[in-house]
Amino acid sequence: MKALQVVLLLLLGLLGARALPFGDGKPAMGFNTWNAFRTDINEKQIMKIADLMVSLGLRDAGYTYLNLDDAWSEKQRVGGKLVANKERFPSGIKALADYVHSKGLKFGIYGDAGTMTCALYPGSLGYEEVDAQTFAEWGVDYLKYDNCFAKREDWVLDRYRAMGEALNKTGRPIFYSLCNWGVMEPWLWAPQIGHSWRITEDILPTWDNVVKLLDYSVGLSRLAGKGIGHHDMDMLYVGNDHLGEYHPYGPFYQEHKMHFALWALMKSPLMVGHDLRRINQSSLDLLLNKEIIAINQDELGVPGDLIWQQGTRRIFAAPLTGGARAVVMANFQTTQTQYPMSNVTVYWEQLGLRRDQAAGVRDIYGGQDLGVFRGSFSAAIATHDVAVLRIAPLEGPTNDGWRPWHGQPLYAAQPANLAVPQPQDWIPNYSGPRTAASAQSQDKQQQQKAAQRQVPSTSHGPPSFALVLACVAAVAALGVVGYYIVLQRRLRGWQQLEDSEAARKAGELARMQQRSKDGWGNGA
Ligand code: GLA
DSSP per position, 268-303: --EEE-S-GGG--HHHHHHHT-HHHHHHHT-TT-PP
Helix or strand holding residue 486 (H, E): helix 465-518
pLDDT per residue as tens digits for the range 338-358: 888 999 999 999 999 999 999
The protein residue whose alpha carbon is closest to atom 1 in ligand 1 is 118
The protein residue whose alpha carbon is closest to atom 3 in ligand 1 is 202
Q: What is the DSSP letter of 250?
A: -
Note the pLDDT of residue 492.
57
Pairing of strands 313-319, 325-331: antiparallel
CB atoms within 10 A of CB 291: 16
**Which pLDDT band holds residue 26 (cuts at 50, 70, 90)?**
very high
Counting atoms of ligand 1 from 1, which one is nearest the CA of 201? Answer: 8
Between the alpha carbon of residue 392 and those of residues 239, 269, 350, the distances in Å are 30, 25, 14
pLDDT per residue as tens digits for the range 146-194: 999 999 999 999 999 999 999 999 999 999 999 999 999 999 999 999 9
Between CA 28 and CA 143 the distance in angstroms is: 12
3-state helix, strand, coil in the chain (%, to 5): 40, 20, 40
Counting atoms of ligand 1 from 1, which one is nearest the CA of 181? Answer: 8
Q: Which of 51, 98, 154, 202 is catalytic?
A: 202
Of the two residues 20 and 287, the one the predictor is more confident about is: 287
Sign of the torsion formed by the C-alpha atoms of 410, 415, 419 and 424: negative
Note the pLDDT of residue 407.
76
34 lines ligand 1 (CB under 6 A): yes
Of the two residues 505 and 275, the one the predictor is more confident about is: 275
Residues 39/71, Cβ–Cβ less than 8 Å: yes
Between CA 346 and CA 339 the distance in angstroms is: 21
The pLDDT mean for the chain works out to 87
pLDDT per residue as tens digits for the range 452-468: 876 554 444 455 666 76
Q: Which of 69, 70, 131, 146 is catalytic?
A: 146
Nearest to 203 by CA among 267, 162, 256, 134: 256
> Is position 146 annotated as part of the catalytic site?
yes
Q: What is the DSSP letter of 116?
A: B
**Which pLDDT band holds residue 78 (cuts at 50, 70, 90)?**
very high
The protein residue whose alpha carbon is closest to atom 12 in ligand 1 is 118
Strands (E) in 353-501, as ranges, are: 358-363, 368-374, 376-382, 386-393
**Which pLDDT band holds residue 46 (cuts at 50, 70, 90)?**
very high
Orientation of helix 253-265 relative to helix 207-217, angle to 10°: 20
Between CA 106 and CA 175 the distance in angstroms is: 10
Note the pLDDT of residue 247.
52
119 lines ligand 1 (CB under 6 A): yes
Note the pLDDT of residue 518.
46
Note the pLDDT of residue 240.
73
Note the pLDDT of residue 18.
54
Between CA 219 and CA 404 the distance in angstroms is: 9
pLDDT per residue as tens digits for the range 381-393: 998 999 999 999 9
Between CA 391 and CA 295 the distance in angstroms is: 12
Of the two residues 220 and 208, the one the predictor is more confident about is: 220
Kindly give the distance from the C-alpha atom of residue 271 to the centroid of ligand 1, in angstroms, as a whole number.
13
Residues 303/199, Cβ–Cβ less than 8 Å: no
Between the alpha carbon of residue 375 and those of residues 51, 56, 360, the distances in Å are 48, 41, 11
Note the pLDDT of residue 198.
98
Kindly give the distance from the C-alpha atom of residue 290 to the centroid of ligand 1, in angstroms, as a whole number.
29
> Does the structure show a pLDDT above 60 at 503?
no
Between CA 48 and CA 80 the distance in angstroms is: 31
Between CA 99 and CA 178 the distance in angstroms is: 26
Which residues lie below 8 Å from residue 163, measured CB to CB, with a gap of 6+? 111, 113, 124, 128, 131, 132, 143, 145, 176
Between the alpha carbon of residue 246 and those of residues 33, 70, 89, 407, 493, the distances in Å are 19, 23, 30, 39, 5
What is residue 141's three-state secondary structure? Answer: coil
Distance of CA 360 to the CA centre of its chain: 27
Note the pLDDT of residue 324.
98
Note the pLDDT of residue 4.
47
> Does the structure show a pLDDT above 60 at 486?
no
CA dihedral 158, 163, 169, 170 (to 10 degrees): 180
**Which pLDDT band holds residue 494 (cuts at 50, 70, 90)?**
very low
Between CA 229 and CA 188 the distance in angstroms is: 11
- In 383-435, which ranges are continuous DSSP H helix? 415-418, 423-426
pTM above 0.95, yes or no: no
Orientation of helix 93-102 relative to helix 43-55, angle to 10°: 10
Checking phi first, is residue 143 left (phi over 0); if not, alpha (psi -120 to 50) or beta? beta
What is residue 372's three-state secondary structure? Answer: strand
What is residue 167's three-state secondary structure? Answer: helix
Distance of CA 517 to the CA centre of its chain: 36
Probe target for ligand 1 pocket from 179, 213, 232, with the most ligand atoms within 8 Å of CB: 179
Residues 151/522, Cβ–Cβ less than 8 Å: yes
Nearest to 31 by CA among 288, 277, 273, 280: 273
Nearest to 15 by CA among 233, 162, 199: 162
Between CA 177 and CA 69 the distance in angstroms is: 12
Angle of CA points 421, 427, 430, to nearest 5° = 105
Q: What is the DSSP letter of 10?
A: H
Of the two residues 512 and 105, the one the predictor is more confident about is: 105
> Does the structure show a pLDDT above 60 at 105?
yes
> Does the structure show a pLDDT above 90 at 230?
yes
Kindly give the distance from the C-alpha atom of residue 179 to the centroid of ligand 1, in angstroms, as a whole number.
8
Kindly give the distance from the C-alpha atom of residue 146 to the centroid of ligand 1, in angstroms, as a whole number.
7
Sign of the torsion formed by the C-alpha atoms of 183, 189, 191 and 193: negative
Pairing of strands 106-112, 142-146: parallel
Note the pLDDT of residue 22.
67
Of the two residues 480 and 21, the one the predictor is more confident about is: 480
| Helix (H) and strand (E) counts in the chain | 16, 16
Determine which of 123-137, 183-197, 494-508 has the lowest per-residue pLDDT on average.
494-508
Determine which of 160-174, 346-360, 468-482, 497-511 has the lowest per-residue pLDDT on average.
497-511
Q: What is the percent of the chain where pLDDT is above 90?
A: 68
> Is position 158 annotated as part of the catalytic site?
no
Note the pLDDT of residue 458.
47
70 lines ligand 1 (CB under 6 A): yes
146 lines ligand 1 (CB under 6 A): yes
Note the pLDDT of residue 15.
47
Residues 328/295, Cβ–Cβ less than 8 Å: no
> Does the structure show a pLDDT above 50 at 91?
yes
Orientation of helix 93-102 relative to helix 128-138, angle to 10°: 40
> Does the structure show a pLDDT above 60 at 275?
yes
Note the pLDDT of residue 294.
98
Q: What is the percent of the chain where pLDDT is above 70?
A: 82
User: What does R_g of the chain's alpha carbons equal in angstroms?
Assistant: 28
Per DSSP, what are the bridge partners of residue 81? 78
178 lines ligand 1 (CB under 6 A): no
**Which pLDDT band holds residue 442 (cuts at 50, 70, 90)?**
confident
pLDDT per residue as tens digits for the range 372-430: 999 999 999 998 999 999 999 999 888 899 999 997 788 888 899 999 999 999 999 99
Of the two residues 517 and 303, the one the predictor is more confident about is: 303
Between CA 241 and CA 283 the distance in angstroms is: 8
